[in-house]
Amino acid sequence: MKALRNFFEKTKPHVQKGAKYHWLHSTHDAFFTLAFVQKHTSKSGTHVHDYIDLKRTMGIVVLALVPALLMGMYNIGYQHFGALGQLETAAFFDLFLFGLWKVLPVIIVSYGVGLGIEFIFAQFRGHEVNEGFLVSGMLIPLIMPINTPLWMIGIATAFAVIFGKEVFGGTGMNIWNPALVARAFVFFAYPAQMSGDSVWISASGVEKMADGFTGATPMAEAVLGNTDLNVWNAFIGLIPGSIGETSTLAILIGAAILIITGIGNWKIMLSTVLGGLFMGILLNIFAVNAYMAMPFWEHLIIGGFAFGAVFMATDPVTAAQTDRGKWIYGFLIGVLAILIRVVNPAYPEGMMLAILLMNTFAPLIDHYVVQGNIKRRLKRVQQSA
Amino acid sequence: MSKHFKLKRGFDIRLKGAAEAVLEDAPAPKSVALKPTDFSGLTPKLSVKAEAQVKAGDALFFDKYNPEILFTSPVSGTVQAVNRGERRKILEIVVEPDGKNEHREFTKADPSKLSREEVRDQLLKSGLWPFLKQRPYGIIAKPSVVPNNIVISAFDSAPLAADFDFLFSKEKSALQSGIDAVKKLTDGKVYLGLSPKQSAGVFASLKNVETNTFEGPHPAGNVGIQISKICPIGKSTTIWTLSPQALVFIGRLFETGKLDLSKTIALTGSEVKAPKYYKTIHGALLTDLLKGKTKNEVNQRIISGNVLTGTKVDTDGYLGYFDQQITIIPEGDEYEFMGWAAPGIDKFSASKAFFSKLLPKKEYVLNANLHGGERAFVLSGQYEKFLPMDILPVHLLKSILVNDIDKMEQLGIYELVEEDLALCEYACTSKIKVQEILREGINSMIKELG
């Protein structure tokens, strides 16, 4: 460790302003601070600071994403061999390794492009590289269909980081969740490639699908009126869908990590689920077609609902900032997601749009909560005077 | 009509090194000093020059914009030096005691029989006036104003704080005289905030005050928090606050006619060999007091005050004007490999993201390391947990950053001073300098509204 530290300390003067390798400053700083918590001590204000920092916060979120990632890899193999009709003969590791082989390039492209842009922006702004993209870079692969071409992921990531985040001033200033901006970008920019049933299954080289295998997601099926869901498979995550969103079980493990560590906001998760259930019940009551009549709770385990509720709606920067605002914000996400899903079959995945929409309205919700606070405080002073 | 307030929000930082209830005499300091920097917004103007002879109670300097507010020497002796910093800013006025204990004479009288003007003039002339702080803003009280109420907190809930019942157990009559004196300054009430533990102590027996109890973690002992519960501050309210120590000084002044600024402080912190209480004097030089009492000579941080709001001093520094404790912690200026990713069983945190959460009773050594880089506001809902008031701290801080005076006013800047948000700064994931930002906001309020 000492050798590594010496390396960083020795190279540090060479990346300072005016030195030859100044253009590497943000990169040097990013890796140095990642490897070593710096020796900076408090210069003003409080003399002690909590051990928590943004690196640990984001690190925990990434950790919470790991179960969904692993399950997603396994599921890709499962779907692939399922499409081939070879599930009986393929071993567990065949499935997992196939998924790993398919997902790894996506993750590398996402982190490579995203972090590269972040480093450049940090360099120009003279800031430290912000840790926000550690999470976004993992979220982006997890919400993409497996057959998304790598170049598309690269462009979407670049778009998300630049126009979803950096133009607003970087992490902490953005209005929309950058990962969802990336997802929306591919969804609207490449509709031909991003819809249909083939995008969900990694079946390149498969000439003939096994009998009865369509590759359609449960939601696509439901839109067609086929609501006969294998609940257990949907819960475990053995259904077609984006890489990380299929396994409700893995997402629940992630949710537990976020809630126990206090990193993810349980109020938003709970209110989103409540909103979804509420809308589901409402649709059940007024059901005029099969999709509307689908048992309301099944919405929680298909598509991106669970993933969105746990990992995307809770993004602290783009969610409502006030406590009361968070309840309203989450509830409306749940309501809108199910509404868009069921009522507008052109957009089978309502979660993405619902969260982006509520990201947009979060400041408005906060505004009214803050006004309420101001009024309450004014009244209190008047009463005591 | 005593009320009990139970505060849920807040946090106790479990530091190692609380002072044992043992009192010792500290060696007589070789010098004492007043530091104008202990007062926010003060422009000092000297009334003595170096080498001048002064008695205890003689003015050393005064407030340029309120010349009647004097700052007087705690001891008799010679003005040794006026230490200045950048742009000749006055940092310390140092007096070397001559051991003669000569005092300037003030009126000796029962303050309850004096008029408001007499009490006020005595406090101004004796140099005890600066102990009175005005809310909003936390600046020295304006002598021309009559405050709505006066509020005193009888306990300090900050990390490793001195136990006031122990400090003042023998000062009952001085405390009472002090209360009788400040009672003259307001048409309203004098409120005294107690902790539940103080129900039988010296403070509970005081008269002429309205007592309330405040139960809960820090900042329950902050006078600002107590004010927000009993008499919230608005645009046109003025509350004055002072510490129990100031009450004692004021009481002694009226009882003896002399300025007697001897006081007891707690020497605390993980780097102190045997944390306990020491009897010393206001503004004392710390060198002799600390000699041989610390575990290390280097890599330590000496703080006059507590770890949240105190001032960093050197071994040849002086005790701060309002400080009742010295805290010594490790400096922590070293690298830590992958520190952010460690499980953290040994890392105390207000968050739940470290395994230290599993040891809810353990006391920890904390150093002065920042443990991370400064970032923009990323998380939400973090600060509210540490402020038992109906205030949205992040929204307030953001309004300060964009200098929006109306918003600052609406979001509660009148009710806060730095110490009330210190815990937010401690716990902040983004390492934002909360107290500094708040003071900037208060300064722009003063500039804008006078």
Distance between start and end Cα atoms, chain B: 36
B364, with CB counted inside 10 A (0-12, 13-18, 19+), is: middle
Per-residue confidence band for A218, with pLDDT thresholds at 50, 70 and 90? confident
The angle at the Cα of B426, spanning B420 to B429, to the nearest 5 degrees, equals: 125
Per-residue confidence band for A211, with pLDDT thresholds at 50, 70 and 90? low
- In the sheet that B32-34 helps form, which strands lie side by side, from edge to edge? B32-34, B90-97, B77-84, B53-54
pLDDT digits (tens, 9 = 90+) for A160-178: 999 988 888 888 888 999 9
Q: Is A52 in contact with B349 (Cβ distance < 8 A)?
A: yes
Per-residue confidence band for A188, with pLDDT thresholds at 50, 70 and 90? confident
Torsion sign, CA atoms A163, A168, A171, A175: negative
pLDDT recorded at residue A196: 67
pLDDT averaged over every residue in chain A:
86
Domain regions of chain B by residue span: 4-256, 266-338, 370-449
Q: Does B95 touch chain A (CB under 8 A)?
A: no
pLDDT recorded at residue A234: 85
Does residue B217 have a cis bond before it (omega within 30 degrees)? no
Indicate the pTM of the whole model.
0.91
**What's the average model confidence in pLDDT over A263-286?**
94
Per-residue confidence band for B1, with pLDDT thresholds at 50, 70 and 90? low
pLDDT digits (tens, 9 = 90+) for B247-264: 999 999 999 999 999 999
Q: Is B13 in contact with A48 (Cβ distance < 8 A)?
A: yes
pLDDT digits (tens, 9 = 90+) for B165-213: 999 999 999 999 999 999 999 999 999 999 999 988 899 999 999 999 9
**CB contact at 8 A, A267 and A333:** no
Q: What's the gap in Å between the CA of B434 and the closest CA on chain A?
A: 8
Q: What's the gap in Å between the CA of B395 and the closest CA on chain A?
A: 8
Cα–Cα distances (Å) from A282 to A295, A308, A353, in that order, read 11, 21, 20
Interface test with A, best of B308, B392, B440 (most A CBs within 10 A): B392
Of A128, A378, A381, the CB nearest to B373: A128
**Model ipTM value:** 0.92
Q: Is A53 in contact with B13 (Cβ distance < 8 A)?
A: no
**CB contact at 8 A, A296 and A277:** yes
Nearest alpha carbon to residue B40 among B325, B439, B448, B445 = B439
Which residues of chain B are within 8 Å of residue A57 when distances are taken between CB atoms? 353, 378-379, 429
- Choose between B134 and B346: higher pLDDT: B134
Q: Is B341 in contact with A380 (Cβ distance < 8 A)?
A: no
Lowest-confidence pick of A239-248, B245-254, B335-344 = B335-344
Q: What distance in Å separates the CA atoms of residue A384 and residue B73, rounded to the nearest whole number?
A: 40
One-letter identity of residue A285: I
Q: What distance in Å separates the CA atoms of residue B29 and residue B326, rounded to the nearest whole number?
A: 15
Cα–Cα distances (Å) from B397 to A321, B408, B438, in that order, read 13, 8, 7
Interface test with A, best of B9, B135, B313, B380 (most A CBs within 10 A): B380
The angle at the Cα of A319, spanning A318 to A323, to the nearest 5 degrees, equals: 145
Lowest-confidence pick of A180-194, A222-236, B75-89, B296-310 = A222-236
Q: Does the pLDDT at position A205 exceed 70?
A: no
**What's the average model confidence in pLDDT over B42-57?**
93
Per-residue confidence band for A348, with pLDDT thresholds at 50, 70 and 90? low
Contacts of B100 (CB under 8 A, 6+ apart): B76, B77
Highest mean pLDDT, choosing among A27-36, A237-246, B338-347: A237-246
pLDDT recorded at residue B229: 93
Q: Does B433 touch chain A (CB under 8 A)?
A: yes
pLDDT recorded at residue B345: 84
B133, with CB counted inside 10 A (0-12, 13-18, 19+), is: buried
CB pairs under 8 A between A and B: 211
What is the phi-psi region of residue B263: left when phi exceeds 0, alpha when psi lies from -120 to 50, beta otherwise? beta
Q: Does the pLDDT at position A14 exceed 90?
A: no
pLDDT recorded at residue A207: 53
Q: Does the pLDDT at position A215 exceed 70?
A: no
pLDDT recorded at residue A212: 56
One-letter identity of residue A252: L
pLDDT averaged over every residue in chain B:
93
Q: Which two tokens stand for residue B164?
A: 């006031």
**What's the average model confidence in pLDDT over B427-446?**
94
One-letter identity of residue A114: G
What is the phi-psi region of residue B424: left when phi exceeds 0, alpha when psi lies from -120 to 50, beta otherwise? alpha
Q: Which two tokens stand for residue B439?
A: 């003071």
pLDDT digits (tens, 9 = 90+) for B216-254: 999 999 999 999 999 999 888 999 999 999 999 999 999
pLDDT recorded at residue A17: 78
For B:358-377, CB contacts with A below 8 A are 366-377
Buried b (16+ CB within 10 A) or exposed e, A42-79: beebbbbbbbbbbbbbbbbbeebbebbbbbbbbbbbbb
- Choose between B282 and A22: higher pLDDT: B282
Q: What's the gap in Å between the CA of A376 and the closest CA on chain B?
A: 9
Q: Is A374 in contact with B410 (Cβ distance < 8 A)?
A: yes
Cα–Cα distances (Å) from A106 to A134, A147, B126, B215, in that order, read 14, 10, 75, 54
Which residues of chain A are within 8 Å of residue B347 when distances are taken between CB atoms? 51
Per-residue confidence band for B407, with pLDDT thresholds at 50, 70 and 90? very high
Q: What distance in Å separates the CA atoms of residue A327 and residue A275, rounded to the nearest whole number?
A: 10
Q: Does the pLDDT at position B445 exceed 80?
A: yes
Q: What is the 3-state secondary structure (H, E, C) of chain A?
A: CHHHHHHHHHHHHHHCCCCCCHHHHHHHHHHHHHHEECCCECCCCCCCCCCCCHHHHHHHHHHHHHHHHHHHHHHHHHHHHHHHCCCCCCCHHHHHHHHHHHHHHHHHHHHHHHHHHHHHHHHHHCCCCCCHHHHHHHHHHHCCCCCCCHHHHHHHHHHHHHHHCHHHCCCCCCCCCHHHHHHHHHHHHCHHHHCCCHHHCCCCCCCCCCCCCCCCCHHHHHHCCCCCCCHHHHHHCCCCCCCCCCCHHHHHHHHHHHHHCCCCCHHHHHHHHHHHHHHHHHHHHCCCCHHHHCCHHHHHCCCCHHHHHHHHCCCCCCCCCCHHHHHHHHHHHHHHHHHHHHHCCCCCCHHHHHHHHHHHHHHHHHHHHHHHHHHHHHHHHHHHC
Nearest alpha carbon to residue B148 among B252, B42, B231, B28 = B231
**CB contact at 8 A, A362 and A370:** no
Per-residue confidence band for B309, with pLDDT thresholds at 50, 70 and 90? very high
Which residues of chain B are within 8 Å of residue A56 when distances are taken between CB atoms? 340-341, 353, 372
Q: Does the pLDDT at position A220 exceed 80?
A: no
Lowest-confidence pick of A81-90, B16-25, B381-390 = A81-90
Q: Which two tokens stand for residue B259?
A: 């300025």
For residue A89, count other CB atoms closer than 10 A to its CB: 9
Q: Does the pLDDT at position A213 exceed 90?
A: no
Q: Is B338 in contact with A261 (Cβ distance < 8 A)?
A: no
One-letter identity of residue B238: T
Contacts of A269 (CB under 8 A, 6+ apart): A255, A259, A309, A310, A313, A314, A330
Residue B135 phi/psi, 5° resolution?
A: -110, 140
Q: What distance in Å separates the CA atoms of residue A133 and residue A115, rounded to the nearest whole number?
A: 7
**CB contact at 8 A, B449 and B442:** no
**CB contact at 8 A, B241 and B223:** yes
Q: What distance in Å separates the CA atoms of residue A377 and residue B199, rounded to the nearest whole number?
A: 31
pLDDT recorded at residue A214: 63
